[in-house]
Amino acid sequence: MIIDRHLAAGEAMLADAANGLSGRLEIDDIVRALVFGFIRLHQDDPRLHRVLAGEVPISSAQRERIKALRSRIIALVAKVLSEHVKEAELKATLLVDTADALTHRWIVDQVALPASADIMVAQASKMLKGYLS
């Protein structure tokens, strides 16, 4: 099923991101990687995302898979944030949900921020880094 292939792509991206983490990362790097990852995921096929988000019924197994993927992303971000901030899990949750919502709105919902992906990364990262400081 198409949603399963889409979830597999997201899971593969997460695995790549987790494998790429090494050493101490600075907050700038963490936030930029998170925002860029969501932009990359949503830019892949915005029309497909729109259909999957609004028109395709999701089974309970797929819903659990989505929930597990979100939890793994939050755990990964919390792990790398823990060296820098208190309440890393709470802050990771807010970062992940905000980055996901922003990129979904800009790319999938076609509200289209009039900017390139690089500018989107820079602006969203600036906002999210402000939350952490």
Please report the pLDDT score of residue 75 as a whole number: 92
User: Which long-range contacts does 80-83 make (Cβ < 8 Å, 24+ apart)?
Assistant: 80/21, 80/25, 80/30, 81/27, 81/30, 81/132, 83/24
Helices (H), 20-116: 27-43, 46-54, 60-81, 88-103
Q: Which residues of 57-93 are buried (b: 16+ CB within 10 A; e: fewer)?
A: eeeeebeebeeeeeeebbebbbebbeeebeebeebbb
Q: What is the pLDDT of residues 102-126, one digit of tens each?
A: 888 887 776 655 567 888 889 999 9
Q: What is the pLDDT of residues 57-69, one digit of tens each?
A: 888 988 898 899 8
Predicted model pTM: 0.84
At residue 7's C-alpha, the angle toward residues 5 and 13, to 5°, is: 105
User: Which long-range contacts does 60-68 make (Cβ < 8 Å, 24+ apart)?
Assistant: 62/3, 62/4, 62/7, 65/7, 66/7
DSSP 84: T
Please report the pLDDT score of residue 77 as a whole number: 92
How far, in Å, CA of 1 to CA of 121, rounded? 31
Q: What is the pLDDT of residues 18-70, one digit of tens each?
A: 776 666 788 998 998 888 888 888 777 777 777 777 777 888 988 898 899 88
Domains in the chain, number? 1
Q: What is the CATH number of the domain that holds 109?
A: 1.10.357.10
